[in-house]
Amino acid sequence: MDIQAEYRRKLTTPEEAVKLVKSGDWVDYSQVCSFPIALDRALAARKDKLRDVKVRHAISMRPVQVVEQDPAGESFTYHVWHCSGLDRKYIDAGRAYFSPMLFRHCGSYYERGYAPVNVAMVTVAPMDSHGYFSYGLTNCAQQELIDAADTVIVEVNPHMPWVPGLESDCIHVSRVDAIVECDEPFVYPAQPHASEVDRQIAANIFPHLRDGITLQLGIGGMPNALGSLIAESDLKDLGMHTELMSDGYLTLYQAGKITNTKKERNRGKGVFGIANGSRALYDFLDHNLGVVSAPMHYINDPAVIRQFEHFVSINGCIAFDLYGQVCSETAGLRQISGTGGQLDFVEGAYEAGHGMAFLATASTFTDRSGKLHSNILPHFSAGDVITTPRAMAPWLVTEYGAKNLAGLPTWQRAEAVISLAHPDFREKLIRAAEQQKIWRQSCKR
């Protein structure tokens, strides 16, 4: 095959490429940085010629034109696997819909036909000399969605780094139906600021970390604060196995803390499913053979995670109650993020020989009127979605400490959880525990 001739034959404009979409189709934009900038804009421009086109994505980093240009949703219906701040606004306005999923199962939804794809539109790195386009920053479930698609359109963007993978990291030009080119830079998310509470929470987790652990970090101010603590510490020879790689890991690489030399699997390689962060992070990943991508069915599989003897998972949550139930994706009925891989890593870390999983939140939040509220609740009753059930509750952390709930009866859980609450709310929580018959009568206040 003359791959350059094949490329030229399939190269077209975004406006021509989106004519492959028909009314009633499911169109998939993949996730995060695979979002097809030019194709989205061109598809939105066809709103008067299309009806009932369903578009799927996750963690939108820029305004989505099929939503922005069709505010009444007459032509397009937008769906997300996981929410960014922008996605929350779309859902709040009734202009997008959330699709619940476990990250490790996401690819199987495509394989089994639960998530149909008529047209896949994904951003890729420029073609190499052998005819392959790297998926770059998004491995995730991209291969499964492409395999499920009737039609595949790639949007070639030189800002997408070339990232090697364990598997499912590229597509050959022969498997592509149409090619468009786009030279618009990505949106680089602002790095979350670490508050004083974030630093206190990080300090409560830090004593549990050891040399040689394999680490999974979520995103946000607290993981960034923890990354800074580790970077300034004597810890060494850490490994990376994570669903999402952010700038917190870049800090650890630059400090020489991550070497991946002690990992039981993929030794010498840091492994991630999705990368999202700064231009510096993307430059670090480009043609870096020490870091590889992998699909979520591998990254998030508890059977894989358990093979890391000293695996530590650290993620945020929104609230938890006296029973050890954890909400990490909604505030009442309002969608905030998604289940993602939290359950995957809680389960996998528990099954590892000396694994630990931490779910952390600030003990309180202040509403718009300035009133202080507790993030530790007597019980959930406002429609909050339970992400981690009490039977799987791991270490829970606030700025007031860290407590392991595994194996504890209800009264010991209540005691442990209340100790993590803001002092102003502890007496009220004790009274609630008494009413709920989960406070030991012999306990003294």
Q: Which residues are catalytic?
A: 243
CA 398 – CA 86 distance, rounded (Å):
27
Q: Where are the alpha helices (DSSP H) in 359-422?
A: 410-419
Q: What is the β-pairing status of strands 53-57 and 291-293?
A: unpaired
Side-chain-facing half-sphere of 119: CA atoms under 13 Å: 24
Answer positive or negative: Cα dihedral of 75, 181, 247, 211: positive
Look at the block and give the residue holding tokens 């922005």: 68
Q: H helices within 261-370, ranges in order? A: 279-285, 296-299, 302-305, 342-351
Which contiguous run of DSSP H or E holds residue 78?
A: strand 76-80
Output DSSP code: residue 64: -
Pairing of strands 151-156, 119-124: parallel
Nearest to 348 by CA among 393, 301, 309, 391: 301
Rounded to whole angstroms, the maximal C-alpha distance in the chain is 81
What is the C-alpha separation between 258 and 251, in angstroms, rounded?
A: 9
DSSP code of 103? G
CA distance 261 to 171: 30
Distance CA 361, CA 21 (A): 43
Per DSSP, the three-state class of 253 is helix
- 300's CB contacts (< 8 A; 6+ apart) are 102, 103, 104, 243, 273, 341, 344, 345, 348
Could you tell me whether strands 214-217 and 311-316 are parallel, antiparallel, or unpaired per DSSP bridges? parallel
> What gap in Å lies between CA 34 and CA 263, rounded to an integer?
29
Which residues lie closer than 8 Å to 25 by C-beta, 6 or more apart?
A: 53, 54, 118, 119
Helix (H) or strand (E) holding 426: helix 423-435
**Distances 225 to 197, 203, 400 between C-alpha atoms, Å:** 10, 9, 16
